[in-house]
Amino acid sequence: MASMRDIKRRIKSVNSTRQITKAMNLVASSKLNKAKQRLEGTKPYAQETRKVIAEIGAAMGGISHPLFGNEIKGNKALIIVISGDKGLCGGYNSSVCKEAQSLADGKEVKLITVGLKGREYFKRRNFTFDKSVVGISERFDYNDAAAIGARALKLFEDGEVDSVYLVYTRFISSISSTPKAIRLLPVDAEEFKGEIEETTSLTLYEPSEEEVLDYVVPKYVNTVIYGGMVESSVCELGARMAAMDAATDNAEEMLDSLNLLYNRVRQGAITQEITEIVSGSNALE
């Protein structure tokens, strides 16, 4: 049987772990609220950008643009993986990496990773990196996304890759999220059909439809990447909150049983002492 001192030490260590996990849970949940607001803020921009592309598509009677196309010509793909920089958030990082890996299967892949965990995962598996961005998973802005978008567009336009995918984590609720892969380039024109309520074929495009499209499509790509980053960060915080909540619960359960054990041992020791004293005084009589 463990000694009282051992058990006491154990209780102390479990208790301090519990305090840490509890604090992390609180931090994650307050950050989660902020991140959720940010996610809401990105939606109008993304919607409006999509609408303009859809409208131009409708006005031109189908979009013909080098960045659009239904078919992917070759097997060279660029995959943008959005993961976190830190662990302690359940399966968040590993599930997004696994999704990306299954997408990469059978393709000649170049990677752009966001977040330390994604980089570690794919480095271990000897993937080819084009770029890896770390240290921004919690504080990134639109410019970070735009830089990745610009790089992806360049690779695509130069013909170094035939398709570009984005793998991020989709937010369902604070406790539930799922990894998702979407095709960024070539842009699937079909996707935009049925987006618009009114066809304003009288709309004037300045300087011209093509030039507006040239401007809008890269913005659209950036927006999707930025949206993916924001959504992933919300999921990361949600996952961390859930993981830390579970860890706190487990620690509490452990503390309960350790306390029980401690009291039992303590009582045992007292009983033994009494027995010794009593038998000692009996022997004296």
Which residues are the active-site residues? 89
Q: How many chain residues touch another protein (CB under 8 A)?
A: 29
Indicate which single residue of 205, 245, 252, 261 sits in contact with another protein (rule: CB under 8 A).
205
Q: Does 216 bind another protein (CB under 8 A)?
A: yes
Q: Does 1 bind another protein (CB under 8 A)?
A: no
Q: Does 199 bind another protein (CB under 8 A)?
A: no
Closest by CA position to 213, among listed 63, 71, 47: 63
Q: Give the three-class secondary structure for 66.
A: coil
- Tell me the C-alpha distance between 250 and 248, whole Å: 5
Length of the chain: 285
Indicate which single residue of 105, 190, 198, 285 sits in contact with another protein (rule: CB under 8 A).
198
Binding range to another protein, per CB under 8 A, among 4-12, 115-123, 209-217, 273-281: 209-217
Q: Does 56 bind another protein (CB under 8 A)?
A: yes
Q: Does 211 bind another protein (CB under 8 A)?
A: yes
- Tell me the C-alpha distance between 107 and 186, whole Å: 16
Closest by CA position to 179, among listed 171, 188, 190: 171
- Give the gyration radius of the chain's Cα atoms: 28
First to last CA, the chain: 34
Indicate which single residue of 103, 107, 226, 233 sits in contact with another protein (rule: CB under 8 A).
226
Binding range to another protein, per CB under 8 A, among 26-34, 185-193, 202-210, 235-243: 202-210
CB of 240 within 8 A of CB of 28? Answer: yes
For another protein, the closer of residues 127 and 192 by Cβ is: 192
CB of 213 within 8 A of CB of 65? Answer: yes
Six-digit token pair at 50? Answer: 């999509």
Catalog residues that contact another protein under the rule CB under 8 A. 38, 41-42, 44-45, 48-49, 51-52, 55-56, 141-142, 146, 198, 200, 202-207, 211-212, 215-216, 219, 223, 226
